């Protein structure tokens, strides 16, 4: 094992290979607050990559209902339980000012074991703790759909407001959108005894070489997010490929420019923005929407950072869910992220408008000031909304999109208001 | 607070470790593999003699019956991650050749027959024979040659018999499919009386949409044999050959696998071990027990080379 820096954990950690970050990192921001679980992303994925024999059960993209749902069933409960190790690994965080560092430890310091460290602590015969889900667990991409968790039963519940008042709803659920995280320290890659899995230097996409794979299912076993899947028909494993031909700009529609993955581009709820992070996390580009949302504004957070793989799909947490649950899922950055999202800054308001305005990956944004259009108070905080214009640029500098904060509306001509 | 200090010391410690390595000139090893022990470079005294018997495949079982069995003791593989195996303690091997073809008869006990690898947690039974690719006269601590998977510059030739490949030799089309493991896989939405026809598009797209098939992997395609011919130069380097020329047959009865693996004594492939009557070399073995989840390094292995003698033609 070597020591590598994991900025999600705010410390170095053990990993079988050296720290070798890509030049750019495939990443996405999913705004959980907006998802309607229409599963358009799931079907976009399915109809692109896994409609064939042996892939019937495969959902490289799936949207599940938390807290009860999961695909494969109970994946996160099971990994958390393994990591908890009968209480020997309480997964604590230290979050005082001295434990934090703007770029190297923005959320504080994780003091527990990661999946890699626990495997070593316990002297396991493998790189990371994990398990292979059985056939039954792979059956449902969204089991327990819309099933809410509640402290009280239907009979005990008081006024409806009690279940639906912020900051925390007493009765709640939310959708979690999941794809492979194209981790900086992939557990799948570390687990493969054949080095059949590689992380691309140019965009950080993690792939299984189908010439090298021999179907050992070590990746299936040790990826904590359960995103590599075994294809019985070919006797080897497959996983999300980040739509790499699109990311490379091979699709003629974007004229050679990098294009967002299919599940991202298809999103009806406009929750997804897909792009590339600057390779050096210590030097985020304040004009890159990904860098800005994740590294600078810190409104989007990694999924289960304590696993230790430095996952690269980032989430704006749902406002209404219990904070303790969210902290377990997204780490200690949750409170700051939610405060920022609930009462958005002028820049955040503008950047959020970029979501789903183009299929071309945006690598730069600019904001032109507009007039103030709204003022209010949210949770005791003053919020002012300005009708700014945000402009998104592709990596070659071409302006791809220009949108205003206030959505334009048109009133139909009175003559057209026919009543019967 | 103590624990907190501990983690922070890891943070600073890493810099020290790096400095130590830079100063000491030691190169980093990225693997997790331990060094093999001294003992492992000493081959066993006893070995296998491949007798000359003028017989062919049809008479192989009879001929093997006349050959002396040699027992290879096996143990858990604990050198290279992932470790595992150890459920099969010994394997018996016999050998004969007829001047053209070399035959190995291999028997071991395995209470469960695992001859399919289609479901998620389904693993095959298998047995592997390994030879140094080039003829090696001496293996010793002074002249080391890893008995595990060979080494850089010291290639090995591996013959890997697989229970599922054996079974697939005898099924129509030479390969089992999803529907063999999941006969009811279509019933959820079986509108058509002929599900195969109804799902024809998905069926036909399999070739197009399967990385394994597109990559030409023998695992994914009908291959018409039950033994894979491979090379390796150390852990994690196992590679299937372009020219496959090893064959085998096997059957499972009353808790025992009985496998015959055979190949012409000499081939024209430079990646193949070549056998000449009268010569001596070494061999080693491993067995996989599918029931125990054995695959890759999770196997029961012999950790020492065994002498192999090929009798002259009489
Ligand atoms: S999410 Fe899993 S499959 Fe994807 S890169 Fe990370 S460890 Fe590998
Ligand atoms: S397409 Fe968008 S809104 Fe619909 S389920 Fe997927 S992430 Fe949610």
pLDDT at B195: 57
Please indicate, yes or no, whether residues A31 and A8 belong to a single structural domain of this protein: yes
Q: Could you give the C-alpha distances from A114 to A392, B30, B83, B91, in angstroms and in order?
A: 37, 19, 20, 40
The residue of B12, B14, B238, B293 whose CB has the most chain A CBs within 10 angstroms, and thus the best one to mutate to test that interface, is: B14
Condensed to tens digits (0 to 9), the pLDDT of residues A12-47 reads: 999 999 999 999 999 999 999 999 999 999 999 999
How many Å apart are CA B294 and CA B314, to the nearest integer?
42
Condensed to tens digits (0 to 9), the pLDDT of residues A273-309 reads: 999 999 999 999 999 999 999 999 999 999 999 999 9
Q: Find the CB nearest B121 among A92, A127, A134.
A: A134
pLDDT at A298: 98
pLDDT higher than 70, residue B16: no
Please indicate, yes or no, whether residues A102 and A228 belong to a single structural domain of this protein: yes
pLDDT higher than 70, residue B162: yes
Please indicate, yes or no, whether residues A59 and A110 belong to a single structural domain of this protein: yes
Residue A409: inside a domain: no
Tell whether B278 lies on the interface with A, counting CB pairs under 8 A.
no
- Relative to beta strand A206-208, strand B70-73 is unpaired
Number of Cβ atoms within 10 Å of the Cβ of B16: 10
Chain A partners within 8 Å of B28 (Cβ): 2, 18
State the count of interchain CB pairs (< 8 A) between A and B: 149
Out of A320, A342, A364, pick the residue that ends a domain: A342
Please indicate, yes or no, whether residues A324 and A379 belong to a single structural domain of this protein: no
Residue A245: inside a domain: yes
Please indicate, yes or no, whether residues A392 and A333 belong to a single structural domain of this protein: no
Q: Decide whether any atom of ligand 2 lies within 6 Å of the A379 Cβ.
A: no
Residue A417: inside a domain: no
How many Å apart are CA B292 and CA B124, to the nearest integer?
10
pLDDT higher than 70, residue B196: no
CATH of the domain at A234: 3.30.70.20
pLDDT, mean of residues A176-184: 98
DSSP H helices, A185-322, are: 187-191, 218-222, 244-247, 262-265, 289-291
Q: How many helices (H) and strands (E) does chain B have?
A: 7, 14
Please indicate, yes or no, whether residues A217 and A355 belong to a single structural domain of this protein: no
Confidence of residue B29 (pLDDT cuts 50, 70, 90): very low
Q: Do B208 and A234 touch (CB under 8 A)?
A: no
Residue A416: inside a domain: no
How many Å apart are CA A251 and CA A254, to the nearest integer?
6
pLDDT higher than 70, residue B25: no
pLDDT at B154: 94
Residue A103 DSSP code: T
Q: What is the distance in angstroms between the CA of the first residue and the CA of the last residue of chain A?
A: 76
Please indicate, yes or no, whether residues A187 and A50 belong to a single structural domain of this protein: yes
Please indicate, yes or no, whether residues A270 and A369 belong to a single structural domain of this protein: no
Out of A342, A362, A380, pick the residue that ends a domain: A342
Mutate which of A178, A181, A222 for ligand 1? The one with the most ligand atoms within 8 Å of its CB, which is A181
How far does residue A239's CA lie from ligand 1's centre (Å)? Answer: 8
List the single range of A149-153, A242-246, A333-337, B109-113 with lowest mean pLDDT.
Answer: A149-153
Q: Find the CB nearest B178 among A11, A195, A232.
A: A232
Task: DSSP for A297-309, please give it.
Answer: S--SEESSGGGSS
Please indicate, yes or no, whether residues A212 and A232 belong to a single structural domain of this protein: yes
Name the residue of chain B whose CA is nearest to A216's CA: B295
Q: Which domains are present in chain B?
A: 35-184+198-310 (2.60.40.1190)
Name the residue of chain B whose CA is nearest to A4's CA: B14
Q: Decide whether any atom of ligand 2 lies within 6 Å of the A269 Cβ.
A: yes
Condensed to tens digits (0 to 9), the pLDDT of residues A84-129 reads: 999 999 999 999 999 999 999 999 999 999 999 999 999 998 999 9
Chain A partners within 8 Å of B10 (Cβ): 3, 11-13
How many Å apart are CA B142 and CA B139, to the nearest integer?
8
pLDDT at B9: 41
Q: List Cβ neighbours of A365 (8 Å cut-off, separation of 6 or more).
A: A287, A288, A289, A292, A350, A351, A354, A390, A391, A392, A393
pLDDT higher than 80, residue B31: no
- Give the distance from residue A191's alpha carbon to the nearest chain B alpha carbon, in angstroms: 8
Q: Decide whether any atom of ligand 1 lies within 6 Å of the A109 Cβ.
A: no
Residue A257: inside a domain: yes
Residue A315: inside a domain: yes
Averaged pLDDT of chain A: 94
| Domain total of chain A | 2
Chain A partners within 8 Å of B223 (Cβ): none
Residue A420: inside a domain: no
pLDDT higher than 60, residue A252: yes
Q: Find the CB nearest B212 among A56, A195, A235.
A: A235
Please indicate, yes or no, whether residues A235 and A375 belong to a single structural domain of this protein: no
Residue closest to A217 by CA, chosen among B126, B124, B202, B232? B124
Q: Decide whether any atom of ligand 2 lies within 6 Å of the A65 Cβ.
A: no
pLDDT higher than 80, residue B5: no
Query: What is the number of the ligand closest to the CA of A263?
Result: 2
Determine the structural domain holding residue A178 and report its residue range. 2-342
pLDDT at A416: 78
Residue B58 DSSP code: G
Q: Decide whether any atom of ligand 2 lies within 6 Å of the A41 Cβ.
A: yes
Q: Decide whether any atom of ligand 2 lies within 6 Å of the A91 Cβ.
A: no
Please indicate, yes or no, whether residues A378 and A328 belong to a single structural domain of this protein: no
Condensed to tens digits (0 to 9), the pLDDT of residues B212-230 reads: 998 899 999 999 999 999 9
Q: Are A196 and A207 in contact (CB under 8 A)?
A: no
Q: Are B125 and B113 in contact (CB under 8 A)?
A: yes
pLDDT higher than 60, residue B26: no
Q: Do A191 and B212 touch (CB under 8 A)?
A: no
Tell whether B238 lies on the interface with A, counting CB pairs under 8 A.
yes
Out of A317, A342, A367, pick the residue that ends a domain: A342
Please indicate, yes or no, whether residues A133 and A275 belong to a single structural domain of this protein: yes
Residue A69: inside a domain: yes
């Amino acid at each position: 094992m070597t020591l590598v820096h994991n900025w999600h954990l705010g410390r170095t950690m053990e990993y079988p290979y050296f720290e070798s970050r890509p030049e750019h990192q495939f990443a996405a921001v999913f705004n959980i607050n907006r998802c309607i679980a229409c599963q358009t992303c799931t079907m976009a994925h399915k109809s692109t990559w896994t409609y064939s024999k042996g892939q019937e059960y495969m959902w490289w993209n799936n949207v599940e209902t938390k807290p009860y749902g999961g695909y494969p069933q109970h994946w996160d409960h099971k990994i958390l339980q393994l990591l908890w190790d009968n209480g020997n690994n309480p997964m604590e965080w230290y979050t005082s000012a001295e434990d934090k560092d703007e770029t190297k430890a923005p959320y504080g310091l994780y003091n527990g074991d990661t999946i890699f460290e626990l495997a070593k602590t316990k002297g396991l015969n493998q790189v990371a703790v994990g398990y292979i889900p059985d056939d039954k667990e792979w059956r449902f991409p969204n089991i327990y759909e819309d099933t809410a968790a509640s402290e009280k039963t239907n009979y005990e519940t008081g006024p409806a407001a009690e279940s639906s008042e912020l900051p925390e709803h007493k009765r709640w659920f939310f959708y979690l959108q999941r794809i492979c995280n194209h981790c900086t320290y992939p557990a799948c890659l570390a687990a493969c005894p054949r080095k059949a899995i590689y992380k691309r230097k140019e965009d950080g996409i993690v792939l299984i070489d189908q010439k090298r794979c021999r179907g050992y299912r070590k990746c299936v076993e040790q990826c904590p997010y359960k995103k590599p899947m075994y294809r019985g028909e070919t006797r080897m494993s497959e996983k999300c490929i980040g739509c790499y031909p699109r990311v490379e700009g091979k699709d003629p529609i974007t004229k050679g420019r990098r294009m967002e993955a299919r599940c991202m581009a298809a999103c009806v709820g406009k929750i997804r923005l897909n792009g590339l992070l600057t390779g050096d996390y210590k030097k985020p580009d304040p004009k890159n929407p990904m860098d800005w949302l994740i590294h600078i504004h810190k409104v989007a957070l990694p999924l289960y950072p304590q696993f230790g793989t430095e996952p690269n799909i980032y989430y704006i947490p749902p406002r209404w869910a219990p904070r303790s649950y969210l902290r377990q899922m997204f780490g200690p950055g949750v409170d700051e992220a939610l405060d920022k999202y609930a009462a958005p800054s002028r820049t955040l308001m503008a950047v959020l408008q970029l979501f789903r305005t183009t299929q071309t990956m945006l690598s730069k944004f600019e904001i032109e000031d507009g007039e103030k259009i709204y003022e209010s108070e949210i949770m005791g905080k003053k919020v002012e909304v300005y009708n700014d214009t945000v402009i998104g640029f592709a990596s070659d500098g071409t302006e791809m999109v220009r949108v205003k904060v206030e959505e334009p509306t048109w009133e139909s001509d009175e003559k057209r208001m026919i009543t019967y | 607070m103590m624990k907190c200090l501990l983690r922070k010391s890891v943070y600073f410690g890493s810099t020290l470790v790096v400095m130590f390595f830079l100063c000491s000139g030691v190169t980093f090893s990225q693997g997790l593999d331990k060094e093999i022990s001294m003992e492992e470079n000493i081959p066993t005294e006893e070995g296998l003699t491949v007798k000359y018997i003028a017989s062919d495949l049809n008479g192989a079982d009879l001929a093997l019956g006349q050959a002396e069995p040699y027992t290879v003791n096996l143990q858990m593989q604990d050198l290279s991650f992932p470790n595992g195996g150890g459920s099969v303690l010994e394997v018996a091997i016999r050998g004969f050749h007829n001047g053209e073809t070399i035959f190995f008869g291999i028997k071991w006990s395995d209470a469960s027959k695992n001859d399919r690898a289609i479901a998620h947690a389904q693993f095959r039974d298998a047995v592997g024979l390994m030879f140094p690719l080039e003829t090696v006269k001496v293996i010793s601590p002074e002249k080391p040659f890893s008995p595990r998977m060979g080494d850089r510059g010291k290639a090995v030739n591996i013959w890997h018999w697989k229970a599922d490949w054996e079974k697939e030799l005898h099924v129509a089309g030479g390969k089992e499919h999803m529907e063999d493991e999941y006969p009811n896989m279509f019933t959820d939405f079986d509108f058509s009386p002929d599900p195969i026809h109804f799902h024809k598009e998905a069926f036909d797209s399999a070739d197009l949409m399967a990385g394994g098939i597109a990559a030409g992997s023998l695992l994914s395609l009908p291959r018409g044999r039950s033994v894979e011919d491979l090379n390796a130069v150390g852990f994690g380097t196992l590679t299937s050959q372009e020219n496959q020329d090893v064959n085998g047959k096997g059957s499972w009865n009353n808790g025992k696998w009985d496998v015959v693996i055979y190949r012409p004594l000499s081939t024209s492939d430079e990646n193949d071990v070549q056998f000449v009557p009268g010569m001596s070399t070494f061999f080693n073995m491993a067995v996989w027990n599918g029931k125990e989840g054995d695959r890759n390094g999770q196997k029961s292995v012999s950790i020492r080379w065994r002498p192999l003698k090929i009798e002259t033609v009489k």
